[in-house]
């Protein structure tokens, strides 16, 4: 791509503020990076790529993922769910860094907390309680809470100098912020006192006043839940009673940890309406909670090395290339080329009327002649071109042999038009976000045609993340001679 | 045709859009569909370009051919109070429960209770009849949680029925499961032609099947147009750059000589074609994986202008054409 085209396309896509990720990752003060965003925007991949990049730049990193795609997990050696950080092999460690990764096992994490906070007998009672078993596996918000709990644990171990966290694919993508508070308020709430009361007080005389209200309540709950479930819940709550203090302290500690200066939140999104709407909501929410936002990572941004050619012009040119056949049929009047009447009738062009030459003096022919002045610049594009006649043909004699080339060119132009339409759609969506939140720094990551499932791919994403602007197709490290 | 149509899919695949299009598609002449939202995102209101939906069934669209689409955003808390009132005449106690945090507990913390309420409400709408005996809604379309959670979400009543072995919750849970596990229900999965969503779709189908939940169809959303076919891609590979430059030049895009405007387009255009070819091959692989699932497959196009109300109607027409309604 020519430099001016590069400038033009990066200007078109340049965010108000550019998020520079390397300084963030390199800063020893940065201890926790939280990647959050709605589902399907590449959160897990972003977290893994950032972790790898930081490690290869010399930091001791652990990546906590929630639900990685199978092949990505395999590539990092964490496809087994054992809730323990595993060293990732195959990273470039010359800078002295290393990378561990782990996949969160929600139930296991919950069990560990119980075991850590209750004596063995009590722990066994809790772990065997049917209500607990259901709660630890499927508690609404358990995954969010456990992710934060695990983060707290990893931070407390102080074995890594950077923890990169991927957040659960929550319905609102924000539940993990609420989880500690919600659990806290539940534990402090009257309900829990109500539930524990019958077991603890057992109808002691002095508590009569309280008990009237409570028995009415437990009566209602019993009616709703069924007596046996209520009993399970009560037994569970009673058994957990001593453990709860620990829960609450940790929930508060984790929440404070998230607000601490060493923490950086990255909101991850794709340039799509829904994802960016969630991202905007997230940005507002983080601000409201005093959580430190580093910026927005915008994944899957499309660029074009030929952004100077608009979709409209590309389509017009494609039609132009496909039309001469029609022109021939109606008597070779080149002037009809741009007539709207011929548009859409290209089906009829499959006729044998093939001695196509553009009328002399048509704009296309004029433009084409300048190539004939420089035959020496001709270079083959692909391996198969050597015997292609069009390469040697004088430009003013575009004939039947050029037809396949024109078809190819028209196809490429239509493809380009589609790309440019996508580009402007993405830009509109992004501009809407920037207008709402001009203060948010943005790092854009160029779209890849396929999924990432190895370290090489993650490294590539890391490069793109740190590149400060979407790497346009032709600056993606491929040489100009790359063949299709 | 099942009367409860559940639409799930990996995040980002457009399941809300597909659910809305399906609700429109099913609302053929004289029919009435209810589109239910369970995740509190107000995605339906945004799609139909209306203000946020209250916890109330209201008409949001008239489908092509004259059917009607109603929408309901279920609020778990209000659904719980609704329930207490409707089934147990516990209106007052409900307020008291709310005061002590029990409603919060039930709707946000208690295992599955929230999901019980959401599925319960949808099933209630499915079974509801007018005085004449006609169903109030011919179809109920649910915009369900994503694939990774949908089996658990739908199956939660089973678990609850196991936890609460007697009592009204037990009975309610069992009634809901009877609807969900019957041919009255079909669970559709929305995917994209990309590796992760396709993988998640096939995992999701296996999970649904092992929970004996009725799997419906697979909808491939946002299918990009085939701009270049395989033969054309082959032809692109065999075309010399110089010839391309001259062709572009002849189309009025500038000079074909080195550094000329047309010549400078060749490399970026070829690179875009290369990316396209890579994606094209990947999409074909994923399409093959999907057709091996042995389920009816539908494809919806990516709308060039982005999603809007007109686009939604376009997708609904497409679904009707493909026989999904």
Neighbours of A206 (CB within 10 A): 8
Top residue of A43, A168, A226 to mutate, by most chain B CBs within 10 Å, is A226
Please give, rounded to a whole number of angstroms, the shortest distance from the CA of B54 to a CA of chain A.
18
Interchain CB distance below 8 Å, A381 and B167: no
- B158 and B247 together in one domain: no
Please give, rounded to a whole number of angstroms, the shortest distance from the CA of A259 to a CA of chain B.
24
Q: How far apart are CA B299 and CA B282, in angstroms?
A: 16
- B200 and B249 together in one domain: no
Nearest CB to B10 within list A39, A270, A384: A39
User: What residues of chain B lie within 8 A of the CB of A473, using their CB?
Assistant: 268, 271-272, 275
- B167 and B238 together in one domain: no
For residue B285, being part of any structural domain is answered with no
Residue B57, pLDDT score: 94
CB contacts under 8 A, B 137-196 vs A, are 145-146, 148, 152, 156, 159, 163-170, 194-196
Closest-approach residue (CA) in chain B for A68: B196
Q: How many domains does chain B have?
A: 2
Q: Which residues, 6+ apart, have CB-to-CB distance to A34 below 8 Å?
A: A165, A167, A258, A263, A264, A265, A266
For residue B289, being part of any structural domain is answered with no
Interchain CB distance below 8 Å, A415 and B227: yes
Q: What torsion do the CA atoms of A253, A259, A264, A265 make, to the nearest 10 degrees?
A: 100
Q: Based on the number of CB atoms within 10 Å of its own CB, is B58 exposed (0-12), middle (13-18) or buried (19 or more)?
A: exposed
Nearest CB to A371 within list B148, B255, B307: B255
Full domain range(s) for residue B184: 4-224+302-321
Q: How many helices (H) and strands (E) does chain B have?
A: 13, 8
B267 close contact with A: CB closer than 8 A: yes
Mean pLDDT in chain B?
A: 89
- B90 and B155 together in one domain: yes
Nearest CB to B276 within list A232, A273, A415: A415
| pLDDT exceeds 90 at position B273 | yes
- B250 and B102 together in one domain: no
Q: CA of B187: how far to CAs of B69, B145, B150, B200, in Å?
A: 20, 11, 9, 14
pLDDT tens for each residue of chain A, 484 residues long = 444 444 444 444 444 689 999 999 999 999 999 999 888 888 989 999 999 999 999 999 999 988 777 777 877 777 765 788 999 999 999 999 999 999 888 888 888 888 887 888 888 888 888 777 776 765 555 677 788 888 888 999 999 999 999 987 765 556 677 766 666 666 666 666 666 665 444 444 444 444 555 566 666 666 666 667 777 777 777 776 666 666 677 777 888 889 999 999 999 999 988 889 889 989 999 999 899 999 999 999 999 999 999 999 999 999 999 876 544 444 434 443 443 433 333 333 333 443 344 344 444 444 444 444 444 444 444 433 334 444 444 444 456 677 889 999 999 999 999 999 999 999 999 999 999 999 999 999 998 877 788 899 999 999 999 986 544 443 333 333 333 3
For residue B290, being part of any structural domain is answered with no
Neighbours of B291 (CB within 10 A): 11
| pLDDT exceeds 60 at position B244 | yes
- B118 and B83 together in one domain: yes
- B72 and B21 together in one domain: yes
- B77 and B118 together in one domain: yes
| Cα angle for residues B215, B216, B222 (degrees, 5° grid) | 120
Q: At what angle do helices A227-259 and A106-117 cross, to 10 degrees?
A: 90
Please give, rounded to a whole number of angstroms, the shortest distance from the CA of A146 to a CA of chain B.
14
For residue B208, being part of any structural domain is answered with yes
Residue B229, pLDDT score: 94
User: What residues of chain A lie within 8 A of the CB of B97, using their CB?
Assistant: 217, 220-221
- B244 and B306 together in one domain: no
For residue B292, being part of any structural domain is answered with no
Top residue of B240, B262, B274, B284 to mutate, by most chain A CBs within 10 Å, is B240
Residue A219, pLDDT score: 67
- B238 and B117 together in one domain: no
Residue A25, pLDDT score: 97
What would the two tokens of residue B280 be?
A: 């094209």
For B110-147, the pLDDT digits (tens) are 656 778 888 989 999 999 999 999 999 999 999 999 89
Tell me the HSE value of B246 on the side-chain side, using a 13 A CA sphere. Answer: 32
Q: How far apart are CA A145 and CA A180, in angstroms?
A: 6
Dihedral pair phi/psi, residue A163, rounded to 5°: -115, 125
What is the C-alpha R_g of chain A?
A: 32
For residue B286, being part of any structural domain is answered with no
- B218 and B258 together in one domain: no
Dihedral pair phi/psi, residue A132, rounded to 5°: -65, -40
Q: CA of A435: how far to CAs of A16, A272, A280, A431, A442, in Å?
A: 9, 15, 11, 6, 13
For residue B245, being part of any structural domain is answered with yes
**Check: complex ipTM more than 0.90:** no
CB A61, CB A53: distance < 8 Å: no
Q: What is the CATH number of the domain that holds B42?
A: 3.40.50.300
For residue B253, being part of any structural domain is answered with yes
Please give, rounded to a whole number of angstroms, the shortest distance from the CA of A385 to a CA of chain B.
5
- B160 and B307 together in one domain: yes
């Amino acid at each position: 791509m020519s430099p001016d085209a590069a400038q033009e396309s990066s200007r078109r896509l340049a965010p108000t503020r550019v998020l520079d990720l390397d300084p963030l990752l390199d800063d020893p003060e940065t201890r926790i990076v939280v990647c959050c965003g709605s589902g399907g925007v590449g959160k897990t991949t972003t977290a893994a790529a950032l972790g790898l990049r930081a490690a290869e730049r010399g930091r001791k990193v652990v990546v906590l993922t929630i639900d990685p795609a199978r092949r990505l997990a395999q590539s990092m050696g964490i496809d087994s769910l054992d809730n323990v950080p595993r060293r990732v092999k195959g990273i470039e460690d010359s800078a002295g860094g290393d990378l561990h990764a782990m996949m969160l096992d929600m139930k296991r994490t919950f069990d560990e907390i119980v075991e850590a906070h209750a004596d063995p007998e009590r722990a066994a009672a809790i772990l065997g309680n049917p209500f607990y078993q259901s709660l630890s596996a499927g508690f609404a918000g358990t995954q969010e809470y456990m992710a934060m709990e695990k983060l707290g644990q990893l931070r407390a171990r102080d074995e890594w100098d950077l923890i990169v966290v991927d957040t659960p694919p929550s319905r609102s993508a924000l539940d993990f912020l609420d989880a500690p508070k919600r659990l806290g308020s539940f534990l402090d709430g009257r309900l829990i006192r109500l539930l524990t009361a019958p077991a603890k007080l057992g109808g002691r005389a002095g508590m009569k006043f309280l008990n009237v209200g409570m028995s009415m309540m437990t009566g209602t709950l019993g009616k709703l839940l069924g007596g046996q479930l209520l009993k399970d819940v009560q037994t569970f709550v009673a058994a957990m009673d001593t453990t709860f203090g620990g829960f609450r302290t940790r929930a508060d500690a984790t929440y404070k940890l998230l607000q601490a200066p060493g923490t950086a939140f990255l909101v991850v999104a794709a340039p799509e309406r829904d994802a960016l709407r969630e991202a905007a909501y997230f940005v507002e929410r983080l601000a409201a909670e005093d959580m430190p936002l580093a910026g927005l990572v915008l994944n899957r941004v499309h660029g074009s090395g030929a952004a100077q050619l608009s979709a409209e012009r590309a389509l017009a040119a494609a039609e132009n290339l496909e039309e001469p056949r029609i022109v021939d049929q109606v008597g070779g009047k080149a002037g009809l080329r741009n007539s709207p009447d011929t548009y859409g009738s290209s089906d009829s062009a499959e006729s044998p009327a093939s001695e196509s030459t553009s009328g002399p003096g048509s704009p296309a022919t004029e433009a084409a002649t300048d190539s004939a002045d420089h035959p020496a610049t001709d270079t083959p594009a692909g391996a198969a071109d050597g015997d292609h006649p069009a390469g040697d043909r004088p430009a003013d004699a575009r004939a039947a042999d050029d037809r396949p080339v024109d078809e190819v060119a028209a196809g490429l132009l239509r493809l380009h038009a589609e790309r440019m339409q996508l580009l402007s759609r993405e830009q509109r969506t992004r501009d809407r976000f920037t207008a709402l939140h001009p203060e948010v720094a943005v790092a854009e990551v160029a779209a890849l045609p396929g999924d990432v499932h190895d370290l090489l791919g993650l490294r590539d994403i890391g490069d793109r993340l740190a590149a400060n602007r979407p790497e346009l197709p032709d600056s993606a490290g491929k040489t100009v001679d790359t063949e299709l | 045709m099942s009367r409860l149509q559940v639409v799930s899919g990996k995040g980002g695949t457009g399941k809300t859009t597909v659910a809305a299009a399906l609700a429109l598609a099913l609302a053929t002449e004289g029919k009435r569909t209810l589109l239910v939202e369970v995740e509190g995102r107000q995605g339906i209101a945004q799609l139909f370009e209306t203000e946020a939906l209250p916890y109330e069934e209201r008409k949001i669209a008239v489908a092509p051919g004259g059917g009607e689409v109603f929408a309901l955003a279920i609020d778990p808390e209000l659904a719980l109070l609704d329930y207490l009132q409707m089934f147990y005449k516990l209106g007052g106690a409900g307020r008291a429960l709310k005061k002590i945090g029990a409603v919060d507990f039930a709707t946000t913390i208690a295992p599955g209770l929230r999901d019980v309420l959401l599925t319960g409400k949808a099933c209630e709408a499915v079974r509801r009849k007018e005085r004449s005996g006609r169903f109030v809604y011919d179809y109920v379309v649910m915009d369900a949680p994503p694939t990774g959670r949908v089996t658990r979400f739908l199956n939660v009543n089973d678990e609850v029925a196991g936890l609460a072995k007697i009592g009204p919750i037990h009975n309610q849970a069992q009634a809901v499961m009877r609807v969900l596990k019957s041919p009255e229900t079909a669970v559709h999965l929305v995917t994209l032609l990309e590796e992760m969503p396709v993988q998640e779709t096939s995992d999701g189908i296996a999970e649904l099947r092992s929970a004996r939940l009725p799997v419906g169809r697979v909808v491939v959303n946002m299918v990009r147009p085939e701009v270049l076919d395989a033969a054309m891609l082959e032809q692109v590979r065999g075309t010399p750059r110089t010839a391309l430059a001259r062709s572009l030049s002849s189309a009025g895009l500038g000079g074909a000589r080195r550094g000329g405007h047309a010549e400078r387009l060749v490399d970026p255009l070829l690179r875009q074609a290369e990316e396209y070819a890579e994606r094209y091959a990947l999409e074909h692989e994923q399409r093959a994986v999907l057709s091996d699932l042995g389920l009816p497959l539908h494809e919806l196009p990516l709308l060039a202008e982005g999603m809007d109300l007109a686009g939604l109607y376009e997708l609904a027409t497409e679904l009707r054409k493909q026989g999904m309604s």
